[in-house]
Structure 1
């Protein structure tokens, strides 16, 4: 069947199978005809973002509409990691998840499995068949601006232990897990969405720490891997080229040395790690020649690339044999995950309330009491001032309006939101608020990356409970606090759990 399909496709249609594209809109309308044209032409897959998802039913119907017009059944993909990266943020009725680091904090693999099982049910209910998760990065750099709590840990053994439950549970639910970001984004000092980070670790350290979770996942049957737009001098010393375009990384190491035979997928080719250094066509040619099977573009306006790439094949810049190999792998994986034969299966209704209770229970286990003083359980007779970072300034939480005060239920409590990097004027205003309080609850979010939060904390002259709601390394700066809590996330499940622990 696979061979028959490949032989029936033109070179442009084969190339179309090698693309996963995004678009705007909750339904297929005149404004997104581009993606409809690409799907009818033979596009390999779709990636959904928050601007495609407003309810489970709507997304399911959108998936079905796309599949029904597809020349070849589509990968319907999503970045749904949990806790920080969740594309369902615009849903009216949705599940709120935990970050990988919060799950690791529970110390229980069964919690990761249960959490992933719930997530898989939600994805299946939306007719999504590919998830760009788990994150296999080892977050060794405390100042990493983009990974942080998206990683399970800074310990490769813990990443191996807890990520396995994610990709195996997704597979059990017929959802293709995509481990990322090979060969490891955890030591980066820059965000590859904005620029191309350079990691200058020696080869031995890369293998011993950062590649280790990927190697183990390959041995355990992980079927798809996403490659990072990060330069690694251990692989490419003379040319600053991202791993996603490096033949040494993709073919020489991932395929040949690790023996990986599954799908190899680029990170989004519209990210700054690519666009600030390469013209679109050049980047695609390099990626395909490096060994990438599937290229992600968040915008379907790139459909004209297919004609240019077809010309590049004709000009001998890309071998048709390489195209056929990738398309063969793509079609095989669609058969393996029942995408070709299992379209639009009926999915049981998801009980969001019931499943959220399960997640909230896991969240309670995830909170770490780094330092236990006399302030918890909280004396409700005290006047409490809560200082919390403004969620609207944190991209992943911008749509979330929940506050910890919503769950503490104190009679004398005021919650003040502060800027991620408050200036002197704002800090002075907050100092005035502190004067009338008995106790301060100070919530930070990645304070070691937003140093003015630390300056604000220093000005607190009342007994204080400090909460690191982002990366846990903030706690090092809060040692004067009576109590220090780590939540590894700033969404509703974490806030409920924190409130429960503080209240006693």
Structure 2
């Protein structure tokens, strides 16, 4: 890889067209064909692209996350990632800034790599910022091992809407002070390894009921409310010093004269609020520009890229029309405007693209995950005494979890009928419940028959429920009628072991639910 030249030299050396190329951060995919890889190499070389953002595959990228295309499984994703980073760096005249969304580790995008708990699980660790610092640090080490400079996280959205379809488990909770405290720890942990971060999704995606991958969410609050809530974590973290801010695709009428223009391409919001009012002079990166909240409204190739840049974004993430975007910006932007963004971007490059203690091996998440499991386990309903009494009974254990993704609805319903027969004469049930999915779409993947079956159990028997998943999924179940309900948040082995130790009475539940449930 070429060495990074100093910012002042870059400002003199790069032509204006090369500088505009540096604003672009197209998507790179682990499972691309050789032809697609060569196309991206050509794009990088010919247009002097500044960076790339890694995703798993075109089938799992932002606008297809609902799974309309089959996702390919690549057993050696990590090896492929490292190889692709080397190839793309070789194609670049100036070193690329390599980024990825690794909110809970490289596993968010790359299978068979270390996975750490979701932000909502970390949020249950009350006043325990040391563990969150370690999570940020370990994920940063894995990024460095891969050749990644920029982790596009943490999420600092305050998730006050239990029905939020896209943030939810990715937020540290619904308490803004807790969000600030844990986000700060994550950022500091990441920075301790020399890896960049980006707080997102400005001006705050926590109180939305629409997914911006698919449509434009509206946040209809007064400016005073926004300053007190949505904007508050951003301001606090900006005051602490952050590398970058990612702007989401949101309609926020109180912050602009043009409510129809999403925040990601809105000058009032980025230049007016974020830069001028909140005093942020670092790098602003757009959320993925292929997301339907913006992309479907701008069919003219290059227009969206120009609008995003003109609004105040320095880095245009997941831009799909690079050649046309470069032309639009060269035609419409002033040289001073381009230079200001390049100076910001290059300073980030200088900071990050310097080899610093590159680990040769990926981290082992197990020891840290076990500590987090012990600190986050939450007694949501009931008492330790009730669990002790229950344990002394002749209870029956029932596991409600999907085994294999190929079960048909019919098979699931038949399975429920079988379980109903098996437990007909039981009076005490230890129920281990894992929601089929982490996202709330389609009732977290539960069939109505499964929801009815669990509620029927709770109504007719003494049930101690251990929940291994997104706590928001509990809103479908009458947990107040259980003997006890305990939330373990993840279905990792470490969390299962901790739940078992708790049930056996050898471990105390120390966590606190970081959100309110309906």
TM-score using structure 2 length: 0.81
Change (3 A) 1:272 1:351: closer
Q: CA deviation at 1:144?
A: 0.6
Aligned partner of 1:248 among 260, 268, 286: 268
Q: 1:449-460 alignment to 2 at 5 Å?
A: 450=443, 452=448, 454-460=451-457
Q: 1:166-181 alignment to 2 at 5 Å?
A: 166-181=186-201
Contact 2:145 2:358 in 1 (8 A): yes
CA distance in 2, matches of 1:136, 1:82: 14
The corresponding residue for 2:243 is 223
The corresponding residue for 1:309 is 325
Aligned partner of 2:336 among 321, 324, 334: 321
Change (3 A) 1:84 1:491: farther
CA distance in 1, matches of 2:317, 2:440: 32
CA distance in 1, matches of 2:419, 2:295: 42
Secondary structure of the corresponding residue to residue 488 of structure 1 = coil
Q: CA deviation at 1:492?
A: 4.2
Secondary structure of the corresponding residue to residue 114 of structure 1 = helix
The farther-off stretch of 372-381 and 253-262 is: 372-381
5+ residue gaps, structure 2, are 1-5, 58-73, 506-518
Runs of 4+ in 1 over 6 A off after TM superposition: 421-426, 446-449
The corresponding residue for 2:397 is 384
Query: In the alignment, is residue 49 of structure 1 matched against residue 55 of structure 2?
Result: yes
The corresponding residue for 1:409 is none
The farther-off stretch of 236-245 and 466-475 is: 466-475
Q: CA deviation at 1:219?
A: 0.5
The corresponding residue for 2:495 is 494
CA distance in 1, matches of 2:190, 2:177: 21
Secondary structure of the corresponding residue to residue 344 of structure 2 = helix
Secondary structure of the corresponding residue to residue 255 of structure 2 = coil
The corresponding residue for 2:304 is 283
CA distance in 1, matches of 2:325, 2:350: 26
Contact 2:252 2:259 in 1 (8 A): no
CA distance in 2, matches of 1:313, 1:20: 15
Aligned length: 466
What do residues 316-360 of structure 1 show as CA deviations (whole Å, max 9, x unaligned)? x333332221112111111123x1xx25x662333644x422222
Aligned partner of 2:102 among 71, 80, 84: 80
CA distance in 2, matches of 1:181, 1:391: 34
Secondary structure of the corresponding residue to residue 23 of structure 1 = strand
CA distance in 2, matches of 1:350, 1:381: 47
CA distance in 2, matches of 1:3, 1:488: 49
Change (3 A) 1:37 1:192: same
CA distance in 1, matches of 2:413, 2:257: 45
TM-score using structure 1 length: 0.83
The corresponding residue for 1:462 is 461
The farther-off stretch of 233-242 and 378-387 is: 378-387
